[in-house]
């Protein structure tokens, strides 16, 4: 295995997903709530793996030729982020917050994965990062397979570290007020991302 290609792929993959975004905020929140952490992290990581593999395999050329694919994801993403952002702001203003940190599951696995699907597959930046950018950079690697393995490893490492590492913040969220603040920040972030996505 070409160690240089693996490390290059790992660092590139990590740099593309480490920034705070809607998907990461959702994974963090699930980690704090202890709700379906494994499946949410696995869904995000596997989705990245599929997209990275497609990008390295040359699908980036397809999206470059048919940009309407990205445009469709863009407008769907704006609508999705607006809806979730407004919902989070509403939750932040509730007098009695429903979220707890005692392990009680308040969201079904199906709903969690559907939300995760929206944050992942309705984000056009995901396609630009994984299909186009990773695919383009991989052309300079001596082993595309090794490069892709590094990028995929970064996704698995990051999402599981974020999901399970969130428990370190649990003492901070022992009070319902902290959840209201988090919901408010998440709502503002989602609305900002929706606006930024619309402007891009």
What's the pLDDT score for residue 101? 46
| DSSP 8-state assignment for residue 93 | T
What's the pLDDT score for residue 47? 95
Alpha-carbon distances of 107 from 8, 29, 61, 110, rounded to whole Å: 38, 12, 39, 8
pTM, 2 dp: 0.77
Task: Look at 48-52, 162-166, 181-185 and tell me which has the smallest mean pLDDT.
Answer: 181-185
The pLDDT of 69-82, averaged and rounded, is: 79
Mind listing the pLDDT tens digit for each residue in 96-139?
A: 454 444 444 467 899 999 999 999 998 877 887 787 778 877 87
Cβ-proximal residues to 199 (8 Å cutoff; 6+ apart), any chain: none
Single out the residue of 38, 11, 10, 12 nearest to residue 166, CA to CA.
38
| DSSP 8-state assignment for residue 34 | T
Mind listing the pLDDT tens digit for each residue in 17-28?
A: 876 678 888 999
Alpha-carbon distances of 99 from 23, 174, 180, 182, 185, rounded to whole Å: 19, 10, 9, 11, 15
The pLDDT of 74-100, averaged and rounded, is: 76
Site of tokens 């699907």 = 117
Q: How many domains does the chain have?
A: 1
* Torsion-angle region of 19 (φ positive above 0: left; ψ -120 to 50: alpha; else: beta): beta
What's the pLDDT score for residue 98? 45
Helix (H), strand (E) counts: the chain = 10, 0
pLDDT at 62 over 70: no
Q: Which domain, by its residues, includes 128?
A: 3-199
């Amino acid at each position: 295995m070409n160690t240089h290609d693996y490390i290059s792929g790992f660092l590139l993959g990590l740099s593309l997903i480490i920034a705070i975004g809607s998907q990461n905020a959702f994974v963090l929140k699930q980690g704090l709530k202890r709700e379906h952490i494994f499946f949410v992290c696995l869904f995000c990581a596997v989705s990245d793996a599929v997209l990275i593999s497609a990008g390295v395999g040359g699908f980036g050329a397809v999206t470059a030729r048919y940009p309407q694919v990205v445009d469709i994801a863009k407008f769907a993403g704006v609508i999705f982020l607006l809806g979730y952002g407004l919902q989070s702001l509403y939750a932040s203003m509730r007098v009695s917050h429903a979220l707890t940190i005692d392990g009680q599951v308040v969201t079904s696995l199906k709903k969690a994965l559907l939300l995760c699907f929206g944050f992942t597959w309705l984000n056009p930046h995901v396609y630009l990062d994984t299909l186009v950018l990773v695919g383009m950079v991989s052309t300079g690697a001596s082993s595309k397979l090794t490069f892709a393995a590094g990028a995929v490893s970064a996704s698995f490492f990051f999402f599981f570290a974020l999901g399970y590492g969130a428990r370190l913040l649990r003492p901070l969220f022992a009070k319902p007020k902290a959840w209201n603040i988090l919901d408010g920040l998440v709502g503002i972030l989602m609305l900002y991302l929706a606006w930024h996505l619309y402007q891009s």
